[in-house]
Structure 1
Amino acid sequence: MEERLPIKVYIITGFLGAGKTTLLNNLLQQYQDRRNIVIENEFGKVNIDASLVTQQTDTLYELTSGCICCSLDNDLLEVLGDILQLEQRPDQLFIETTGIADAGNIIGMFQMPQVKKHYALEKTICVADAENVRTRLEQTPETGRQLACADVVVINKTGSLTVPELVTLYQELEAINPLAFYTATENGQLSVADLHRAASIARPAAAGAPLTGGHKINSVLFESSRPFDLDRLLYVLDFHFNVYPDQLYRIKGYVALKGEQERFLLQSTGRYLHLTPAGSWGNDAPASVLVFIGRELKTATIERILQPALK
């Protein structure tokens, strides 16, 4: 029996009113040659946004009983199971989260072995309202987490900004998440080509990028030519993720491990850490490069946390 390819998954996040549904519709129009399924998650018994995407997708699932990122209850898992039972299996699944969602836990769900067997998380897209994103960052931690988790950041509603203002905003957001691919648009446009150009491991302009505005969210770069002890590394990172969940949002990078010849990709999803083989170092000397994203992170603190795990 021919083995089925995993269903490709795209998660769309962004605060209330950022333009998530408009962007979703745009992507569905570009993917008309694929079988697409959409999961809409919104608070309340009536999901207004669902009516806006019904005509663009093969099947629409509405989850209105709460935020799927908060409960991770069986609602989303049940829907994922139902999709696998469809007579015509879809090629792609789009999940539009609530405006106040912390996407990290949803991303973590797609790392579960029983889910990963059937679904492949391709990209997490964050839509940022160019006019209001600074205010949202100051007011709500969810906005910072949405940006931190993103592979692609779409700066939307840029019409009222001058070119210098847009450049400044781009630089501020890139300081928060230097791992993402950034693009700007006036009305929720995102080309499929740009969607698949999400950056790999990027380097911030400087370790411990300066804080901007009043949101206090920043990134810190850690580099070391010394290998890590695997057990110690996972222990110190897991400990600090659970002790400081409101301060440490995301970790991603390549690490060199004692006794291993290949490099490993380390990344966090929600409060969970995942380590996967990432091939040889090639012509490069083994060296760990990790990017930390969170609130008021300090280079000295990150170095102090990781030093006991180095050999």
Structure 2
Amino acid sequence: MLNHLMRDSSDTRIGVIVNDFGSINIDAMAVAGQVDSMIPIENGCLCCAADASEMDEMLERLTDPELRIDVVVIEASGLAEPQSMIRALLSSTNERIVYGGLVEVVDAAEFPDTRIRHPELDRHLRAADLIVLNKTDRIAEDERPRLLETIEETAPGVPVLTAAHGRVDAALLIDHRPRETSGERFRQLSFADVYADDGADDGGCAAGGSAADECADGHDHSDHLHAAYESVEFTSAEPFHPRRLMEFLDSRPAGLYRAKGFLHFAGAGAEHRFGLHAVGSYLRFQPSPWERDAPRTTQLVLIGTGIDAETLTKRLVECVAAAEEEVDETHMMGVLRYVDEAD
């Protein structure tokens, strides 16, 4: 959705804060070259990776009048706590910043199962000003009304927009303003409430230790959604064998929920960089030409619960193509089956 926003907003200068749950900032790479100004945040969720003063510093950089930025988009990790981020924005001392609302993107195909595992996501929906029910092309027609009904019951009054491939009218998002609503909405909190520690939310912690640890300022964020997850990063300068990668993806462990990154294939696939997006049972590759003089490197981030980093790394190493191996078009067929030409 962020990529479509970048492409469809040629008359608007957009600054972006991009947050990745992992030390390789795949999301920042995906939007690089399209955004007018960007600040990447790696290896942690924004809700705990930046306190209010650090958020202010980032916003100060992006709102420098010389950049002529019209809108700042904060693309947080899907595991981040929206309440913490909203509070950090509300407590900003930057007079050029006005909070424009929270857009929550819901994966239509994965939402029912994910909601069972993480009932706290209901709270995320209720914090939203706009909910985008994305990937509606992946569900049956009769499933859509049931999903919309569930969302309406969970977050009554929050408008819901359906979409496929993240295609949302850029003007809708850029012009979006918070709705006038009851004092229970986060943007209506007094500053005393903003700074209060209610025991269920840290209000923005500095990064420190693993996701389940306490933040550096002593706040415990073990109840945050991201506390149950861990990430594994993998980088290889040697190209992958496409068939062995597909064998890995087809047999990935149940706890491995998310895989994303960029792939360098040997042989027939060598002329393109393949973006990888895997969420639950969803898998898609996005080929694009390599940039001139860019290093042809595979960079992957795997996110899940109870995953064995050593085993996953070993299996990925086994996907590397040997120097003497020939990789032709037939070996690429498994990958190309998951390329959406329309996108």
Distance, in Å, in 2 between the alignment partners of 1:79 and 1:201 is 28
SS of the residue aligned with 1:62? strand
Does residue 1:139 correspond to 2:143, yes or no? no
Give the fraction of aligned pairs with identical amino acids, expressed as a percent: 28
Q: For residues 34 and 78 of structure 2, what CA distance do their matches in structure 1 show?
A: 21
- 1:180 and 2:162 equivalent? no
Deviation string, structure 1 residues 58-88 (Cα, Å, up to 9, x no partner): 1111011421212442443321222234622
Q: CA RMSD in A?
A: 3.0
After superposition, give the CA deviation of every residue in 1:200-233 in whole Å (9 maximum; x if it has no partner). Answer: 4689xxxxxxxxxxxxxxxx9xxxxxxxxxxxx9
Match of 1:44 among 22, 25, 47: 22
Instruction: Count residues with an aligned counterpart.
Output: 191
Write the letter of the residue equivalent to 1:89.
R
Q: CA 1:85–1:65 in 2, change beyond 3 Å: closer, same or farther?
A: farther
Matched residue SS, 1:60: strand
Gaps in structure 1 of 5+ consecutive residues: 1-22, 204-219, 221-232, 247-311
Q: Does 1:95 align with 2:51?
A: no
Which of 25, 39, 59 matches 1:61?
A: 39
Task: Please give the alpha-carbon distance, in whole angstroms, between the structure 2 residues aligned to 1:79 and 1:160.
Answer: 37
Q: Which residue of 1 aligns with 2:198?
A: 242
1:96, 1:197 → 2: CA distance? Answer: 16
Match of 1:16 in 2: none
- Flag the 1:151–1:55 CA change in 2: closer, same or farther, 3 A: same
Q: Is contact 1:152–1:180 with CA below 8 Å preserved after alignment?
A: yes
TM-score (norm 1): 0.54
1:126 aligns with 2:104: yes
State the shift of 1:171 in Å: 0.7
Paired amino acid for 2:77: T
**1:150 partner amino acid:** A
Residues 141-192 of structure 1 deviation map (CA, whole Å, 9 limit, x = unaligned)? 5532321211111111112323321011001011111232111112111113
In structure 2, what is the Cα distance between the partners aligned to 1:59 and 1:160? 33
Counterpart in 2 of 1:155? 133
Structure 1 residue runs of 4 or more that deviate by more than 3 Å after TM superposition: 192-203
Q: Please say if 1:112 is aligned against 2:95.
A: no
**Separation in 2 of the partners of 1:45 and 1:57?**
21
1:31 pairs with 9, 26, 29, which one? 9
Residues in 1 aligned to 2:181 and 2:140: alpha-carbon distance in whole angstroms: 27
Equivalent residues of 1:158, 1:184 under 8 A apart = yes
Secondary structure of the equivalent of 1:87? helix
Could you tell me whether the CA contact under 8 Å between 2:135 and 2:163 is conserved in 1? yes
After superposition, give the CA deviation of every residue in 1:13-35 in whole Å (9 maximum; x if it has no partner).
xxxxxxxxxx0111122221111
2:48 aligns with one of 70, 95, 112: 70
Could you tell me how far apart the structure 2 residues matched to 1:101 and 1:175 are? 23
In the alignment, what sits opposite 1:249? Answer: none
SS at 2:138 equivalent = coil
**SS of aligned partner of 1:56:** coil
- Which amino acid in structure 1 is aligned with residue 26 of structure 2? I
Question: What residue number does 1:192 align with?
Answer: 170
Q: One-letter code of the match for 1:158?
A: T
Task: Indicate how the Cα distance of structure 1 residues 86 and 51 shifts in structure 2: closer, same or farther if over 3 A, else same.
Answer: farther
Q: Which structure has greater strand proportion?
A: 1
Contact 1:101 1:142 in 2 (8 A): no
Q: Secondary structure, in 3 states, of the residue corresponding to 1:45? A: coil
Question: Are 1:83 and 2:62 matched, yes or no?
Answer: yes
Aligned AA for 2:29?
S
Quickly say closer, same or farther: Cα 1:82–1:142, change in 2 above 3 A.
Answer: farther
Measured in 1, the distance between the counterparts of 2:25 and 2:49 equals 19
TM-score under structure 2 normalisation? 0.50
The 5 A counterparts of 1:261-300 are none
Contact 1:101 1:146 in 2 (8 A): no
Is the CA contact 1:40–1:63 (under 8 Å) kept in the aligned structure 2? Answer: yes
Indicate conservation of the 8 Å contact 2:82/2:127, yes or no: yes
Offset of 1:40 from its aligned partner?
0.5
